[in-house]
A and B are shown apart, each in its own frame.
Chain A
Amino acid sequence: MTEHRMDDDMDEVAPLDGAAGEAARAYHASDAPVPREAMWAAIAARRAAASTVEPAAPALRVVAGGAPAASEATARDVPRAFAPPRWAYAIAATMLLVIGVGIGRQMRGSIVAQREARADSVTSAAVWQAASTEHFGQVETLLTWMTSSPEARSEAQLAAWSRDLLGSTRLKLAKRISGERAEDLNRAATRLWNTLECLKKAGLSPEAPLVLDSTSPDGWMSVPAGMPSVQTQEPRSNP
C-alpha cells in the first residue's frame, strides 16, 4: 500500500510509535473477513433495480379498441395505443395483491353459498386455491417480464399478454373510464385488470358485465358486476 511516503522530511510532529502506534493501527480495525459475496449480491440487486426504472425501457402496450380477433392478431397487428411507464406495473401489482386479497376475503362466505346453491362439485376451497394460483401466477409472469432482459421482452409476448389481460370489450370500458376520470388509459386498464382478477378470485365469472358506477376525486372507483362491486384505488408511493 505504502509506495513512497512523502513525510520523510517532516519531523515537526513525528508519527505515533511504540504502544501508541500499535493502538493507532488498531483503530476501527476489522477482524472479520470482508463479506464480499453478500455485498456483491446487494450491489447487483441495486443495479438491477435501478435499471428496471429506466424511462427508455420497453413498456407494455395494450390494444385500445378496434383490435383484430385474438386468433388473427399478431404482434405487428397490435396498435401501440399507449406505453405505460414501469412504475405502473408496480402499482398494478400492488393493487392486484391488496384489492384481490381484500375483496376475495370479504366475499368468500357469499361465494360459498352461491356455489352450494349451484350444487357445484368443486369445493369453494378448491376454487379459491385455483383462483389464487392463477392470480399469483399472472403476477409472477408480470414481474418476471418486468425484470427480464430487453431482448426477452418481445412484442409477441406483450401482445399475447395484453389480449389475455383485457379483451377488446374491456378495453373499450377502460377507455370510457379513462375519459370519465381523466386519467391515463394504462391506469384505467390496470383498474379493470384488477377488477377481473378480483372477480375470478371471488369465484365469479370474469365475463360478468361490468358497469362503471361511480368515481371519486380521491381516486376510488366503484365497478359493480351484478351484486358484488369492486372498489379500486390507486396507491401513491414516493419514488
Chain B
Amino acid sequence: MDDQQLIAAVRGGDPRAEREFYDRFVDRVYRLAHRLAGDAAAAQDYTQETFVRAFDRLAQFRGEASLSTWICRICVSVTLNGIKARTSRGRIEVTMDEPPEVPTTRREAEPDLKTRLHAAIDALPDGYRTVFVMHDVEGYTHEEIGQALEIQPGTSKAQLFRARAKLRTALADFAGEWA
C-alpha cells in the first residue's frame, strides 16, 4: 500500500490502515523525539501527541511533501514546543530552589569528550540544535529538514555550519583528538 492508498484508507476510517500508518512511521518519529528531548518518557508523550494530531489532520494533508516529512514536521513542532514548556517550568524551579551553578575551571572536573559534546549540543540555539540533530545525527537531508521546519534548504545548511562551528569551538580542548 503506497502513501496515497494508505491516506485514503485512514481517511475512510479503516482501523487496520490506521495501525499501518502508525507502524510505518512510529520508529522514525520516536527516535527523532528522543533525540531532541533526551528523555524516554517525554519522547513517548511527544510521539503520542504527534500521531493524535496526524490522525486529526490527515484530511488536511495535501501531498506537497512526503507523508514521512509531513509527520516529521508535526513531530518537530510538538517536541520543540514541549521542550520549551518544560524548560520554562524547569527554570522557575531552579530559580526557586537553588542558585545557578558557577562555571568551574578546575581541570580535574573536565568532562570527557562525549559529555562535553552533548552539553555543547544542548547549549546550541533551538534552530541550530534541531538542524544538527536531524542532519548529522539522524541523517535527514537539507530538503527534508527544510520541509519539516518550513525553512529553505539553504537556511538549513547555514544553521548546520554555525552549529558545527560552535561545537568545534566548545571542543577546542579536544581538538588534538578529533580534528
CB of A215, distance to nearest CB on chain B (Å): 41
Interface members, chain B 123-179 (any A CB < 8 Å)? 132-133, 135-143, 153, 157, 160-162, 164-165, 167-168, 171, 174, 177-178
Closest to B133 in A: A27
Q: How many A-B residue contacts, CB cutoff 8 Å?
A: 115
Q: Is B77 an interface residue (CB 8 A)?
A: no
Give the interface segment out of B38-46, B57-65, B84-92, B100-108. Answer: B38-46
Interface members, chain A 8-46 (any B CB < 8 Å)? 10, 12-21, 23-30, 32, 34-36, 38-40, 42-43, 46
The A contact surface, by secondary structure, is: loop
- Complex CA gap A24/B138 in Å reads 10
CB-based contact B143/A6 at 8 Å = yes
CB-based contact B164/A27 at 8 Å = no
Q: Is B26 an interface residue (CB 8 A)?
A: yes
CB-based contact B140/A43 at 8 Å = no
CB neighbours (8 Å) of B157 from chain A are 6-7, 10
CB-based contact A43/B114 at 8 Å = no
CB-based contact B114/A26 at 8 Å = yes
Q: If the complex has contacts A13-B165, A30-B40, A39-B26, are A19 and B35 also in contact, measured as CB distance less than 8 A?
A: no
Q: Is A47 an interface residue (CB 8 A)?
A: yes
CB neighbours (8 Å) of B44 from chain A are 35, 38-39, 42
Q: Is A1 an interface residue (CB 8 A)?
A: yes
- Complex CA gap A46/B22 in Å reads 15
CB-based contact B136/A13 at 8 Å = no
CB neighbours (8 Å) of B55 from chain A are 43, 47
Residues 38-80 of B, flagged 1 when their CB comes within 8 A of A and 0 if not, give: 1010011001100110010000000000000000000000000
CB neighbours (8 Å) of B133 from chain A are 27-28
Q: In the complex, which of the residues B142, B161, B177 contacts A13, with contact meaning CB atoms closer than 8 Å?
A: B161
CB of B18, distance to nearest CB on chain A (Å): 9
CB neighbours (8 Å) of A12 from chain B are 161
Q: Is A120 an interface residue (CB 8 A)?
A: no
- Complex CA gap A5/B161 in Å reads 14
CB of A99, distance to nearest CB on chain B (Å): 34
CB neighbours (8 Å) of B117 from chain A are 16, 20, 23-24, 27
CB-based contact A24/B137 at 8 Å = yes
Q: If the complex has contacts A23-B118, A28-B37, are A7 and B142 also in contact, measured as CB distance less than 8 A?
A: yes
Q: If the complex has contacts A6-B153, A7-B160, are A16 and B178 also in contact, measured as CB distance less than 8 A?
A: yes
CB neighbours (8 Å) of B178 from chain A are 16-21
CB-based contact A16/B118 at 8 Å = no
Residues 43-72 of A, flagged 1 when their CB comes within 8 A of B and 0 if not, give: 100110010000000000000000000000
CB-based contact A39/B48 at 8 Å = yes
Q: In the complex, which of the residues B22, B37, B114, B142 contacts A23, with contact meaning CB atoms closer than 8 Å?
A: B114
CB neighbours (8 Å) of B113 from chain A are 19-20, 23
Q: Is B7 an interface residue (CB 8 A)?
A: no
Q: Is A3 an interface residue (CB 8 A)?
A: yes
CB-based contact A30/B164 at 8 Å = no
Q: Is A4 an interface residue (CB 8 A)?
A: yes
CB neighbours (8 Å) of A24 from chain B are 117, 121, 132, 136-137, 167
Q: Could you give 14 example pairs across A and B, Cβ below 8 Å?
A: A13-B161, A13-B164, A15-B136, A16-B164, A16-B178, A20-B178, A24-B117, A28-B35, A29-B35, A34-B27, A36-B26, A39-B26, A39-B48, A42-B44
7 new A-B contacts, CB < 8 A, other than A6-B143, A15-B164, A20-B177, are: A19-B178, A24-B167, A28-B34, A30-B31, A30-B40, A39-B26, A39-B44
